[in-house]
Amino acid sequence: MKIPTGLVNLVIKSLSESMNVTTMQSLARMYLHNYDLYRKTGFPESIAIPGRDAARQIVMDINQGGYLIHFINTLYDVQNNGLMGKKYSISHIREIVNGVIDLGYIFDNQNKLFVEDPRIHRTKNWGILLDGADYLFTFLRLDIVGNTQLVKKYEKDLVKSVYADIRQLFETGVNKFNGRIWSWEGDGGLAAFFFSNTNLSATLTGLQFINEIFLYNTLECKLEEPVELRLAVHTGSCEYKENQEELLNSEIIRKTMAIESDYTKPNSLTVSNVVYITLGKELGSIFQPVSGSRGGGCFNYELRWEK
């Protein structure tokens, strides 16, 4: 995202007024490793770099690297919590925050981060994730059962229309919990959740979808038979990559897909043990252990008629 010149200049002014050059360089090194301000500015090491020149160089390099929103987030944190035990008053911080909001961001109070406002933008990295950095995600995998048979049995346009309905239902549910669809192959997809209680968000999305697909099959499905689905939820660390192929090759994503394919019955949702233990007693009570599942066990939910 291109940052307006006015906001860049305001951050430069704020930095130069709020801290010394040594502290500025320490902040820069959070994003630009081994950052050498003398080499960047061309000043000889025998001369102290003026604060305004240092601030300008740092902010310009941070912005060029694509980290300015993250850097502003750091300044906001320093304003509220200090740095290495020392309190700082960051000048113009309210104006800077308003400038970020004007770009289409909101502040996530739980995670203390600026993220894109989903009413304005919806990108797969929430406007904040850094390429090559590791983050903790929860993933929700969806697969349409018997895709090959359905494609052979029904006209192409009819199947395409039904699959479009399914994607719309899935996307609506994912968006409700500020998740992002990372892939969609036509007969299934993968959604990622990053903010707030990700395990709960992904699980509730899956549960809601199980119920909605039942209603869809009962009232709206254009096929002569109900569409069957499998869903799975798993969580873990994943290196975020802008390259789609590299991103989806993560071990934790492969594990999520394996839980869906190996341990999930049609029309049900399976969660891994690491997800299950975070759901709480009341929600966890609707899941049943999956016999034969490895890795600490999986737990499954399916619609059942009350006796």
Residue 111 has what pLDDT?
A: 74
In the chain, domain spans: 5-103, 134-302
Q: Mean pLDDT by 10-residue block, N- to C-terminus, for the chain (307 residues)? A: 93 97 96 94 95 97 95 95 92 96 89 87 92 94 93 93 95 95 92 93 97 94 94 97 93 96 95 96 95 80 75
On whether the pTM is more than 0.75, the answer is yes
- Residues 184 and 241: their CA atoms lie apart, in Å, by 17
Give the pLDDT confidence score for residue 132 in this predicted structure.
Answer: 92
Architecture of the domain made up of 134-302: 2-Layer Sandwich (3.30)
Q: Is 210 helix (H, G, I), strand (E, B) or coil?
A: helix
Residue 249 backbone zone (phi > 0: left; psi -120 to 50: alpha; other: beta): alpha
| CATH class in words for 5-103 | mainly alpha
Instruction: Give the E-state strand segments of the chain in sequence order.
Output: 105-108, 113-116, 134-144, 180-184, 188-193, 229-239, 268-272, 288-289, 298-302
CA pair distance 153, 158, nearest whole angstrom: 10
